[in-house]
Amino acid sequence: MTDTIDIAFGPFGQGGSGDLVVFIGDDLALGGPAREALGGGGTDLVARAAASEKFKGRSLSALVLPAPAGVAADRLVVVGLGSEADRGKIDWPVLGGFTASKVSGRTARIILDLPGVAPAADQAASFALGARLRSYSFDRYKTKKKPEAEDKARTTLTVLVADPAAANREAEGARTLAEGVVLARDLINEPPNVLFPEEFARRAGELTKLGVEVEILEPARLRDLGMGALLAVAQGSVREPRVVVMRWNGGPTGEAPVAFIGKGVVFDSGGVSIKPGGGMEDMKGDMGGAAAVVGALHALASRKARCNVVGAIGLVENMPDGASYRPSDIITSMSGQTIEVINTDAEGRLVLADVITHIVRSAKPKAMVDLATLTGAIIVALGQDIAGMFSNDDTLAEKIRAAGEATGEAVWRMPLIPAYDKAIDSKFADMKNTGGRHGGAATAASFIKRYVEDVPWAHLDIAGVAMSSTSNEINRSWGAGWGVRLLDRLIRDTYEAR
């Protein structure tokens, strides 16, 4: 939901109330500014408490003490950083998330000076980003708030650094990036009776406030465009589909944009090829790709990225009904290619196909990345901590891999070979919408490949990472908002650098 955390920067030595946080290595040595704040008595207390509590200063461990005499604070929180080698490769958002969790619901000053490492402004900003992401929880539908739940109180942090002005400048981008992730998380966590296609489109429309051009395509327009594949998926639901095209023009006029395409199936029952009941509730998250695209556009527009970016999302609900599409139907996509429907649960690729054709033809992007919770098979292959990437372009794939590594939203490249393409040839139409049990993520990617024409493209299958996400230092939410930070980073490092 909205922020429950306030973060400001200040200079070392700034006074205040609440807790005081300091960092310590596994040699139990404090940095200069921390020693100064604690004085001789405080420094000594930390050493004695560490010994009696068997606190070793290991990375991401903490010791919580009453504030020493002479130190104006409620509690003293000592956060471990591990060995000197660990300190050389600190994950700043993770450290920020961990630290925030130790002072959740409280006011605290954090002396962000690590023995041996003076954080740069962008690292201090990343620390703040992690703290913000950790503080997120989705409780919009909890009518009984637990009074004892500290997490629900506001957290107010003042991060003390050598150059607060520089940190403040960097932190503004981190703040709006966190907003983009939070927006994506909210969209994923919302139930489909609230977040149906029309409502999703309305929320995407709010990006206009940031200077994004938002075009919402209604069914009549989708029919005019010939989006027979997307419309076939939508026809079993009483909720009308929408396609939303979002344009951020922060680059030179006329320069080809980078395109982000998102699968936005607000609920995937499987349709006539209905899914088993167990776990079906998770399919409210089948719009995680679309959520990431909206969140990324929010972040890019907020920081006025110097790049032209077009985001496009296909919003539908996949339901069984008398009007549903059915296995054996042959549908005509916007590209003109025909598709034999084998399984109505392989609906995401049908939605993506038409949105991709529309963007390839109308926006002529110089690169295109689609994000989709496309297959259970990618979860079998890679698990829940890394996304699968398929690409027709080695340069783009390498840029995405690097952005994933830099943000911790890791991707692993998967192969695209002719055998997968052959597996989706159909007896009756140009292709069929499934390629059998084997290589399910790869045959799905091959299907999409038939729609990208000659655009450099990468497909991220995020079924494993977008929902029922792994709990970690920067995420406690069911929907992690995976991909927002990766896309922002890709634009920053590859398309804005000049």
- Which option in Zn ion, Mn ion, ligand BES, none does residue 440 bind, with CB closer than 5 to 8 A by kind? ligand BES
- For Mn ion, give the closer residue by CB, 159 or 372: 372
CB of 197 to ligand BES, least distance (A): 16
Give the Å distances, CA to CA, from 326 to 60, 221, 329, 451. 52, 23, 6, 22
Residues 6 or more apart from 104 whose CB is under 8 A from it? Answer: 135, 150, 151, 155
Q: Are strands 367-372 and 258-268 parallel, antiparallel or unpaired?
A: parallel
For residue 343, the partner it binds in Zn ion, ligand BES, Mn ion, none, with Cβ less than 5 to 8 A by kind, is ligand BES
Beta strands in 199-271 (DSSP E): 213-217, 242-249, 258-268
| Contact partner, 483, from ligand BES, Mn ion, Zn ion, none, Cβ < 5-8 Å per class | none
Residues in region 364-423 near ligand BES by CB under 6 A = 373-377
Q: Does 439 bind ligand BES (CB under 6 A)?
A: no
Site size toward Zn ion (CB under 5 A) is 4
Interaction residues for ligand BES, span 451-470 (CB under 6 A):
463
> Alpha carbon of 137 to those of 156, 161, 434, 469, 474: distances in Å?
16, 28, 37, 13, 11
User: In the stretch 245-274, what mask flags binding to Zn ion with x, by CB under 5 A?
Assistant: --------------------x--x------
345 interacts with Mn ion by CB under 5 A = yes
Q: Where are the alpha helices (DSSP H) in 344-393?
A: 348-363, 376-382
Residue with smallest beta-carbon separation from Mn ion: 345
Phi then psi for 269, rounded to 5 degrees? -80, -15
The binder of ligand BES chosen from 135, 302, 324, 434 (CB under 6 A): 434
Residues in 11-40 that interact with ligand BES by CB under 6 A: none
Catalytic positions, written as ranges: 275, 349
Number of chain positions touching ligand BES (CB under 6 A): 15
- If binding is defined by CB under 6 A, does position 348 make contact with ligand BES? yes
- Note whether 234 and 316 are within 8 A (CB): yes
Q: Which does 377 bind (CB under 5 to 8 A by kind): ligand BES, Zn ion, Mn ion, none?
A: ligand BES
Q: Which stretch binds Zn ion (CB under 5 A): 289-297, 343-351, 356-364, 422-430?
A: 343-351
State how far Cα 288 lies from the chain centre: 9
- Residue among 19, 199, 268, 473 that touches ligand BES (CB under 6 A): 268
CA distance 303 to 54: 45
| Alpha-carbon gap, residue 261 to 264, rounded angstroms | 9
C-alpha to C-alpha distance for 429 and 337, rounded to whole angstroms: 8
Q: Distance between CA 314 and CA 481 in Å, rounded?
A: 18
Residues 6+ away with beta carbon under 8 Å from 419: none
> Half-sphere exposure of 467 toward its Cβ, with a 13 Å CA cutoff?
28
466/487 with CB nearer ligand BES? 466
Using the minimum distance from each CB to Zn ion, give the nearer residue, 268 or 473: 268
Q: Are 170 and 92 in contact (CB under 8 A)?
A: no
3-state secondary structure of 393: coil
- Could you say which of Mn ion, Zn ion, ligand BES, none residue 14 binds, taking C-beta under 5 to 8 angstroms by partner kind? none
| Binding-site string for Mn ion from residue 252 to residue 271, where x marks contact by CB under 5 A and - marks none | ----------------x---
Q: How far is the CB of 138 from ligand BES (least distance, A)?
A: 18
Binding site for ligand BES (CB under 6 A): 268, 286, 343, 345-348, 373-377, 434, 440, 463
Binding site for Mn ion (CB under 5 A): 268, 345, 347
Binding site for Zn ion (CB under 5 A): 265, 268, 286, 348
